[in-house]
Amino acid sequence: MMQKIDTKKLSALVLEFTVYSFIGWAYETILTSAVWGRFADRGWLNLPICPIYGFCAMALLLIFRRIKSPLIIFAVGTIVTTAAELAASYVLDLFIDEPLWDYKNWAFNFQGRIALGSSLIFGVLCLLLAKVLHPFAEYLADKLGGRVLKITAAVTLALILADTVYTFINT
């Protein structure tokens, strides 16, 4: 027997994914713009989002689901995001001629692919994700009417998918 899909919960997850993707874009854009001394749009899509942050945040929330200790969330988040960033750098090398990031000028870096400073920043962001952002997102989803939540999520998902297709076609 097929289980009924909880469309309200799925809609909340779509919106959380979008918010985390936007936060990732904002983080990347602000940091890179500050380092380069000029505006640097770090998104690949036309929308101001970096979906890799949304996917990673959602995966991390699954990992953090049973972890309550802020210190363990910070440590696990730091390790997982650093490993993901390192793995992503090698995978991207297969498809892209130049790296999308370079930590060679950062202290305690490994091949410019990862650095202690960025790893610690990601650990703090993981703590904020688990202890502030996700609980607030759940609160908002509960307060929004099911219909408003579902329509907003459907429109948001349609925009992201359309932008992704458009970007792939025009790249």
pLDDT given for residue 57 in this prediction: 96
State the first-to-last Cα distance of the chain, in angstroms, to the nearest integer: 43
- Amino acid in position 51: P
Q: What is the pLDDT of residues 66-81, one digit of tens each?
A: 999 999 999 999 999 9
Q: How many CA atoms are closer than 13 Å to the CA of 151, on its beta-carbon side?
A: 5
- The pLDDT of residue 50 is 92
Structural domain harbouring 139? 76-163
Asked whether residue 40 is assigned to any structural domain, the reply reads no
| Cα–Cα distance, 107 to 12 (Å, whole number) | 39
Q: Is residue 115 part of a domain?
A: yes
Give a yes or no: residue 10 inside a domain.
no
Q: What is the percent of the chain with per-residue pLDDT over 70, rounded to a whole number?
A: 99
Within-domain flag for 84: yes
Q: At a CB cut-off of 8 Å and minimum separation 6, what does 19 contact?
A: 133, 137
Higher pLDDT, 23 or 1: 23
28 falls within a domain? no
Residue 101 falls within a domain, yes or no? yes
Residue type for 39, please? F
Query: 61: which residues sit within 8 A by CB, 6+ positions away?
Result: 129, 130, 134
Banded model confidence at residue 1, pLDDT cuts 50, 70, 90? low
CA distances from 156 to 17, 19, 50, 89, 163 (A): 10, 10, 14, 29, 11
Task: Tell me, yes or no, whether 22 lies in a domain.
Answer: no
Q: Domains in the chain: how many in total?
A: 1
Write phi, then psi, for 102 (nearest 5 degrees): -150, 115
Q: Give the mean pLDDT of the chain.
A: 91
Query: What are the tokens at 48?
Result: 């101001």
- Supply the pLDDT for residue 2: 65
